[in-house]
Amino acid sequence: MAHRVCVVGGGSFGSVVARVAANGVGAHPGTFKQTIPWWVRRPEMAEEINEKRVNSQYLGAAHLPEALQASTDLGEVSKGATVCIIALPGEFLANVLALLDQSLHQDCVIVSLIKSLKVNSDCSRVVPYSEVLAAGLSNRPVAALMGPNIYREMARDEFAEATIGCAHRELWPVLVELFETPLFHVDLLTDLVGVEMCGCLKNTVTITCGIAKGLGWGENVKAAIIRRGMLEIGQFLAEFMGSDKGVLLQACGVGDIVLSCNAGRGQALAAAFVEAGGRKSWSELEDEIMNGMRLPDWHNVQNVFKLLDAVPGATERYPLLAQTYRIAFEGAAPTSVLEPLRAAAPTI
């Protein structure tokens, strides 16, 4: 049986991954049906994709393959799909899960591009969105694709790579055929949560680098933040998620951290926050400079701190993550970002 692939979400990353998937589908006609239904929220975006083969808001003039067929009808898009790529901000997920659960094939594999994270009600543990997806979609298998992927460069057909976390090895061949192309390379790991959390936690360090950028500081400070951030993320993965720190050496780890801290949207937003001198909120700045995009970065800083603050001694063990929160949300001086860089560092 040929797999039916669908995409849910028409933002920047969802759009470039949809292009990758369309190329993978075209290269493997024996494995996949040759049309990819694609759910987008706005009718005018669906019309533009189908008639002009572009998504100009996010990808400019980059051509979208004919295989991609956009619609605002989520039920029709997802009906009977055996691979579903979900590219929505985490806070919007609750609006679609019930319908997806009814429409998707019972054995559908879910590929998450979500880089948001949340904590449970008593702030005692992080709840990965792969867990939210599995619970809301009748325990269908979930994979996560994370990596150093600047969407503008991918839209220009420049090479990129990513890591896919998927505990079900039997699904790996299908995922490789779907996503591995001459211009997009994927490595697969069984550590789903480790891959996913690298993508989420690096967003906290991008905010830290943006704070330094907003102060006008240069590459030495950025390098120190990246190094310290990687050490704290590795410690967090081991302590709170039970993951091997070695995942940090993958594209979803060091690759994504280095890229995002140099060219990511989160660091640009944090720089604007510092330059505004606290006179504008994160949501106001997001509306002003992010072209309609919603970033998980500053929300992730909040959620990580909720967990650290609830665990005795954790803010002392993770001084960079904690101080980033205090600067972003408690009015601490941006220059205080240097303090955790002088603290004793975790070990790999």
Buried b / exposed e along 209-248 (16+ C-beta atoms within 10 A):
bbbbbbbebeeebbebbbebbbbbbbbbbeebbebebebb
Residue 32's SS3 state is: strand
DSSP, res 96: T
Q: Which amino acid is residue 193, in one-letter code?
A: V
Where b means 16+ CB within 10 Å and e means fewer, 83-119 reads bbbbbbbbeebeebeeebeebbbeebbbbbbbbbbbb
What lies within 8 Å, CB to CB, of 140 at 6+ separation is: 104, 106, 107, 108, 109, 110, 133, 134
- Burial class from Cβ neighbours inside 10 Å (0-12, 13-18, 19+) for residue 169 reads exposed
Q: Give me the pLDDT at residue 154, please.
A: 95
* Three-state SS sequence of 63-88: CCCCCEEEECCHHHHHCCCCEEEECC
Burial of 196 (0-12, 13-18, 19+ CB in 10 A): buried
4, 81 Cβ separation under 8 angstroms: yes
Q: Give the per-residue pLDDT at 348.
A: 67
Residue partners of 342: CB distance under 8 A and separation at least 6 = none
Range 43-57 burial, b when 16+ CB lie within 10 A, else e:
eebbebbeeeebbeb
pLDDT at 117: 87
What pLDDT is attached to residue 124?
84
Task: Going residue by residue through the chain, which has 348 residues, state the pLDDT in tens, using 9 for 90 and above.
Answer: 799 999 999 999 999 999 999 999 999 999 999 999 999 999 999 999 999 999 999 999 999 999 999 999 999 999 999 999 999 988 889 889 999 999 999 999 999 999 988 899 888 889 999 999 999 999 999 999 999 999 999 999 999 999 999 999 999 999 999 999 999 999 999 999 999 999 999 999 999 999 999 999 999 999 999 999 999 999 999 999 999 999 999 999 999 999 999 998 899 999 999 999 989 999 999 999 887 778 888 999 999 999 999 999 999 999 999 999 999 999 999 999 999 999 887 776
What's the distance, CA 68 to chain centroid? 22
Handedness of CA 271, 272, 273, 277 (dihedral sign): positive
**Which residues, in sequence order, are bridge partners of residue 109?**
83
CA-CA distance, 337 to 322, in Å (whole number)? Answer: 10
Q: 306 an active-site residue?
A: no
Q: Classify 267 as helix, strand or coil.
A: helix
How many Cβ atoms from other residues are within 10 Å of residue 77's Cβ?
23
Q: Quick check: helix, strand or coil at residue 51? A: helix
Spot the catalytic one: 33, 52, 118, 202: 202
What CA–CA distance (Å, rounded) separates 109 from 203? 26
Whether 126 and 241 have beta carbons less than 8 Å apart is answered as yes
d(CA 303, CA 309): 10
Q: What is the dihedral of CA 130, 269, 55, 93, to 10 degrees?
A: 30
